[in-house]
Structure 1
Amino acid sequence: MKVSVAMATYNGEKYIKQQIDSILSQLNSDDELIISDDHSSDGTLSIIEEYRKKDSRVKLIMNEESGVTSNFENAIKHTQNEIIFLSDQDDVWKPEKVEIIKAYFERNSKIQMIMSDITVVDNNLNTTIESFYQFRGSRLGVLKNIIKNSYIGCAMSFRKELKTKILPIPRNVPMHDMWIGLVADLNKSALLIPEKLIYYRRHDSTVTSVENTSSLKEKILWRYQISSLLLKSYIKNR
């Protein structure tokens, strides 16, 4: 079961080495780390180039658009292998992450998307929230996750077959991970597992958040938009 990791980067020079190291140490020789960069202006690209020159598993693609959603979409589009993991640039994967996820996929042939629990940490990897699941009330359910999203991309992995259902990622959904989780959930092919497999680092430059800070108007609009898009997706993929 070959693995592709789809990582999105942007000005991540401070933490990216630690994250890449934690990923590559778990990959086999025929796996790959696909990195899409959103036009970084710091030393991120230089760091990635160092890895790319010495490790053929590392591949760099520039994002033709800009923004988190398009950056992840770009990385996902270029993946080749059977199981695709999503990755932020500043977290740290626990050493057992890949093997545990692969084992779940092997035991659950009808499951297309798996999400693990995570431990939220600060800059120095000190725990701030022991369980994201507990913090966000994570559970399956399309309506539940439209009302209060509990899907988080850095903890997601999915089979390549799901790519045709999630791509292209609509630009008017709140985030890529909410879309991916809901599409899998709608198709009854999502699984949440209890293992905490990532140290999810929150710091001043973090792009995403464990809390939703959107206005009420934005939340209502997004819920309407994503409900309409999910209905279209369901009809298309029936």
Structure 2
Amino acid sequence: MNVSVAMATYNGEKYLSQQVDSILSQLDSEDELIISDDHSSDQTLSIIDKYMQADHRVKLFINEESGVTSNFENAIKHTKNDLIFLSDQDDIWKPEKVATVKSYYEKNPEIQMIMSDITVVDNEINTTIESFYEFRGSRSGVIKNIIKNSYIGCAMSFRKELKAKILPIPRNVPMHDMWIGLVADMNKSALLIPEKLIYYRRHDANVTSVENTSSMKEKILWRIQISSLLFKTFLKNR
């Protein structure tokens, strides 16, 4: 099974190289790193260009829209391989990440989406949360994750067959990762594995947050919206 990594970037010059290096060291020659950039104004594009010049597996596509969801969608759309791994721009993949996840897919042919546990760290890679699973009470299940989402994109991967079910990602869902996890759950094909395979770096410039800071009104509204969208998607994919 060949691998495509779908990475979204935006003004990520500070930590980008460390993350890209941790990914490329695990990829085979037929794998690829697809990067979608959301109109960065720092040195992000220059850094990506240097990798592209040195490694044919690195490919860049500029996001035609703006925002996290559309940026990840753009990266996912351009992937071509069997397994798609999502990636933030500022984390670090542990050396065994790709091999571990691939082994789970080989043993579980019915599974379409796999998410691992992660270790949350600060700028200097000091552990701040040992287990994201324990912190968020993570487990699969549609109702559970509508009530309290525990899906996190940086730890997710999925088979290419799931692309047709998740794309296009609705713009009125809270985040792309929640949508992907719930669609996989609707198809009873989501698996959460216990291994901690990423150092998930939290810093002042992060676009997303470990905590949900939405108001109660916002939470109720998006729960209604996403329930309706999931039902429509379920009917379409029957």
When normalised by structure 1's length, the TM-score is 1.00
Code of the residue aligned with 2:180 in structure 1: it is I
Code of the residue aligned with 2:140 in structure 1: it is L
| 1:149 alignment partner in structure 2 | 149
Determine the C-alpha separation between the residues in 2 that align with 1:188 and 1:57.
32
Determine the C-alpha separation between the residues in 1 that align with 2:169 and 2:125.
31
| 2:78 alignment partner in structure 1 | 78
Offset from partner CA, 1:69-99 (integer Å, 9 cap, x none) = 0000000000000000000000000000000
Code of the residue aligned with 1:113 in structure 2: it is M
1:171 equivalent in alignment to 2:175 = no
| 2:105 alignment partner in structure 1 | 105
| 1:162 alignment partner in structure 2 | 162
| 1:115 alignment partner in structure 2 | 115
Offset from partner CA, 1:80-135 (integer Å, 9 cap, x none) = 00000000000000000000000000000000000000000000100000000000
| 1:94 alignment partner in structure 2 | 94
| 1:137 alignment partner in structure 2 | 137
| 1:230 alignment partner in structure 2 | 230
Determine the C-alpha separation between the residues in 2 that align with 1:177 and 1:109.
22
> Aligned to 1:27, what secondary structure does the other structure show?
coil
* RMSD between superposed Cα atoms in Å: 0.3
Determine the C-alpha separation between the residues in 2 that align with 1:120 and 1:170.
28
1:22 equivalent in alignment to 2:58 = no
| 1:60 alignment partner in structure 2 | 60
Determine the C-alpha separation between the residues in 2 that align with 1:82 and 1:140.
23
Code of the residue aligned with 1:18 in structure 2: it is Q
> What is the Cα deviation at residue 224 of structure 1?
0.4
Determine the C-alpha separation between the residues in 2 that align with 1:115 and 1:140.
10
Code of the residue aligned with 2:28 in structure 1: it is N
> Aligned to 2:59, what secondary structure does the other structure show?
strand
Code of the residue aligned with 1:11 in structure 2: it is N
> What is the Cα deviation at residue 170 of structure 1?
0.1
Structure 2: stretches of 5+ with no match in the other structure: none
> Aligned to 1:115, what secondary structure does the other structure show?
strand
Determine the C-alpha separation between the residues in 1 that align with 2:140 and 2:53.
41
Offset from partner CA, 1:171-211 (integer Å, 9 cap, x none) = 00000000000000110000000000000000000011110
Determine the C-alpha separation between the residues in 2 that align with 1:138 and 1:210.
13
> Aligned to 1:123, what secondary structure does the other structure show?
coil
| Matched length | 238
> What is the Cα deviation at residue 68 of structure 1?
0.1
Determine the C-alpha separation between the residues in 2 that align with 1:124 and 1:35.
25
Structure 1: stretches of 5+ with no match in the other structure: none
> What is the Cα deviation at residue 20 of structure 1?
0.1
> Aligned to 1:104, what secondary structure does the other structure show?
helix
How do 1:199-214 residues align onto structure 2 when only pairs under 5 Å count?
Answer: 199-214=199-214
How do 1:29-68 residues align onto structure 2 when only pairs under 5 Å count?
Answer: 29-68=29-68
Offset from partner CA, 1:7-31 (integer Å, 9 cap, x none) = 0000000000000000000000000
